[in-house]
Structure 1
Amino acid sequence: MRKKAYFRLKSLLVAAFTIVSFSVEAQQKAVERDTSFTVHSAYVKAKKQYPAVSIATPKIPAGVASKRDLTYCTVGDRNLKLDIFYPTAKRKAKYPAVLLIHGGGWRSGDRSHHIPMAQQLAGKGYVTVTAEYRLSTEAIYPAAVNDLKAAVRWMRANANAYAIDTTKIAVWGFSAGGQLAALMGSTNGDKRYEVNTCNRGVSSNVQAVVDVDGILAFIHPESGEGDDSKSTSAATYWFGAPKSQKPELWQEASALNHVSGKMPPILFINSSVDRMHAGRTDFINKLNELKIYNEVHAIPDTPHTFPLFNPWFEPTLNYTAAFLSKVLNGK
């Protein structure tokens, strides 16, 4: 009897351990990073249509230093990281700064994607930051916005260490990052996105926005987001519900619905894929009514991922640098 009881207890323990192990594994998989969008995968896709394309890896400008893997905010037990690039030349005036936000459908992508852009802008006299943010595999909207607002607050809180001019902070984003950049600029001063406790009391306002192929409106005739007919769309994952169920969230995350006198100057750099800048015309009309400076540069015959590749990296950099010089430095 004892032997039977022993084996029964043993099998129950093995079963329990298996269930717990499966549960832990399932939890790990639930937050496993989505690596479907990388520079390499985008390159393979773009090269089919544009055989001459190459990944942009320009030489790092002289006089640019960096610090990597710095924690800018801790949410629960999650340390959010950033990399910072800055000019080493000492001067009396402090440097304007730029936060760069990667794309990937709010679900994939990595802050390393725009290190080349960050390095080149640092070479032109900007302190630049590439920051990660929680993706939809980890936390749904508005977590990403909250995180990136916290990144701006970190930049201001650490301004003295990197000679940042706190009155001149811009945000630059590509694709989903462009959408986030436009939303950040259009919600300057909006307390709904200031829920992270990191560096509370420090402003997250930005003084300029560069939106590189990021949409301005989710529910809009020009928008292709939210089509779940074949598979769950990236936006549906991000909002945690289709637009038919929670349209108020989809509207709330649309920068078009927040344009006000608090909106800073904005630059649009766009590909020839029209749906990637849905709502741009309506957005510009609102800006013009409010007399807010804006620029549009559409680069013809380009894939959505154009800023990652030659021959389009340099024009993207030049448009960005000229705009920031004008609106932040008055040049």
Structure 2
Amino acid sequence: MPTYDEVVGTYHAGCFPLPPATALRGGAVTSYFGVRVTQPDGFRAVTIDLHVPAAATRPVRPIIFASGGGFRINSPIAGPWIHLVEDGFAVACVTYRLSSEAPHPAPVADVKAVVRWLRAHGDQLGIDADKVGAFGMSAGGYLVCFAASNPQHGEHDEALPCHLELSSELNAVAAYFPPSDYLELVEDNGGDAVEVPGVPGASEVRYLGYVPRDAPDRNRESSLIEAVGAGTPLHFLAHGTADRRVNIKQSDRLAEALRRHGRLVDYVRIDGADHGGPEFFERQLSQKVADFLTDALQ
């Protein structure tokens, strides 16, 4: 009989059996739903839905997809990630921990654990995880951007000791309308915002665990602007000019920080588009993302 430490080590290490494969889209996609990546102490398991092109003749590059939802909800089926599978990528849709479960940086640690899990198990799944990309929307965009700019941050990696012998580095990131600096969000959003930021109960306050204006030093630690550096991978950004939840100024600042370090490949500003509007689900924009990821992950 295994000891308690052995059982806990198995949970942490992500040594769970794969669920049965499911054939989708007429057999064109092989999917594994609810794959358990790791088990944080005291929390539910971090899981992914993994979708792999069935007709691939060689191992494919993996993309981690993180959906939005204000850090309050997230859904592994919400988002235009299926276009990436159609373009030959494997996509791992992560169900990260929410603000009601664990504050920043716990969900970042979840994303980084998925990176390491893909590198540990890629060979058996037809995945070439030497290079890993990420795609996120809104809150999910923030998480993948932050994880990418902290490639080997000890605190975030060691919080979930899952395959710590492997790198959690992300090699390319695409993000739609991510918040980038929570202290500035109050001024940016203005009077027509869907949600008033910077007050107790606001989505970002619940996620951070504090009101940004009351803790400017802690806000700097959570800012994407501050996190960007020479080690940040290449980025693709898209944002709507009529966003009433995360004002486009948030991406404008992030784009400028990325440009300063030569890390921005493309920034698509969509005139008149609101937060999560239909423009972000159109195949034309998804193709730009796929082209970016293809080039960046070569």
Aligning the two structures, in what range does the TM-score lie when normalised by the shorter sequence?
Answer: 0.7 to 0.9
Q: TM-score, normalised by structure 2?
A: 0.81
Measure the CA separation in 2 of the matches of 1:247 and 1:99: 31
Q: Which residue of 1 aligns with 2:289?
A: 320
- Identity in percent: 22
Q: Deviations over 1:211-264 (max 9, x none)?
A: 100022112275447432xx6211111112212333333221111101111111
Amino acid at match of 1:66: S
Q: CA deviation at 1:111?
A: 2.0
1:188 to 151, 165, 180: 151
Match of 2:181 among 217, 222, 234: 217
Q: Which residue type is aligned with residue 234 of structure 1?
A: S
User: Normalising by structure 1, what TM-score?
Assistant: 0.73
Q: Whole-Å Cα distance in 1 between the matches of residues 102 and 254 of structure 2?
A: 28
The secondary structure found in structure 1 opposite 2:256 is helix
Of residues 68, 90, 94, the one that matches 1:127 is: 90
Q: Which runs of 5+ in 2 are unaligned?
A: 1-23, 190-195
SS in 2 for 1:122: helix
Residue 110 of structure 1: how far off its partner (Å): 1.9
> Helix, strand or coil: the match of 1:250?
helix
User: 1 CA distance for matches of 2:77 and 2:90?
Assistant: 16
What is the deviation of 1:122? 1.3
**What secondary structure does 1:99 align onto?**
strand
CA deviation after TM superposition for structure 1 residue 310, in Å: 6.7
| Structure-2 change in CA distance of 1:311 and 1:208 (3 Å) | closer
Judging changes above 3 Å, is the alpha-carbon distance between structure 1 residues 61 and 310 closer, same or farther for their aligned structure 2 residues? Answer: farther
| Structure 1 residues 287 and 263: CA distance shift in structure 2, 3 A | same
Any conservation in 2 of the 1:98–1:169 contact (CA below 8 Å)?
yes
In structure 1, give the amino acid aligned to 2:47.
K
How far is the alpha carbon of 1:311 from its aligned partner?
7.9
- Mapped contact 1:84–1:128 kept (Cα < 8 A): yes
Greater shift, 189-198 or 282-291, is seen at 282-291
Pick aligned residue for 2:75 from 106, 110, 124: 110
1:175 correspondence with 2:138: yes
Cα distance between partner residues in 2 of 1:223 and 1:191: 32
Code of the residue aligned with 1:141 in structure 2: it is: H
Q: Where does 1:22-37 land on structure 2 (aligned, <5 Å)?
A: none
* Partner-residue secondary structure (3-state), 2:267: strand
Counterparts of 1:87-98 in structure 2, within 5 Å, are: 87-92=53-58, 94-98=59-63
Alpha-carbon separation, structure 2, partners of 1:281 and 1:246: 24
CA distance in 2, matches of 1:235, 1:292: 26
Aligned length: 264
Inter-partner Cα distance in structure 1 for 2:261 and 2:56: 38
Q: Residue 137 of structure 1 corresponds to which residue in structure 2? A: 100
TM-fit CA distance, 1:90? 4.3
Tell me, in whole angstroms, the C-alpha distance in 2 between the residues paired with 1:160 and 1:223: 45
Contact 1:226 1:243 in 2 (8 A): no
Q: 2:163 — aligned with what? A: 199
8 A Cα contact 1:217 1:279, kept in partner: yes
SS at match of 1:202: coil
Task: Read off the aligned partner of 2:49 and give its amino acid letter.
Answer: D
Pick closer, same or farther for the CA change 1:277–1:211 going to 2, 3 Å. farther
| Contact map agreement 2:241 2:248 (CA 8 A) in 1 | no
- Rg larger for: 1
* In structure 1, C-alpha distance between the alignment counterparts of 2:83 and 2:53, rounded to whole Å: 10
**How many angstroms apart in 1 are the aligned matches of 2:252 and 2:67?**
23
Listed as ranges, the gaps of 5+ residues in structure 1 are 1-58
CA RMSD of aligned residues (A): 2.2
Q: Work out the CA distance in 2 between the residues paired with 1:236 and 1:209.
A: 25
Compared with structure 1, are the counterparts of its residues 305 and 232 closer, same or farther at alpha carbon in structure 2 (3 Å cutoff)? same
Amino acid at match of 1:301: G
1:237: which partner in 2?
Answer: 206
Match of 1:17 in 2: none
Which of 64, 68, 79 does residue 99 from structure 1 map onto? 64
Alpha-carbon spacing, 1:279–1:320, altered in 2? closer, same or farther (3 Å): same
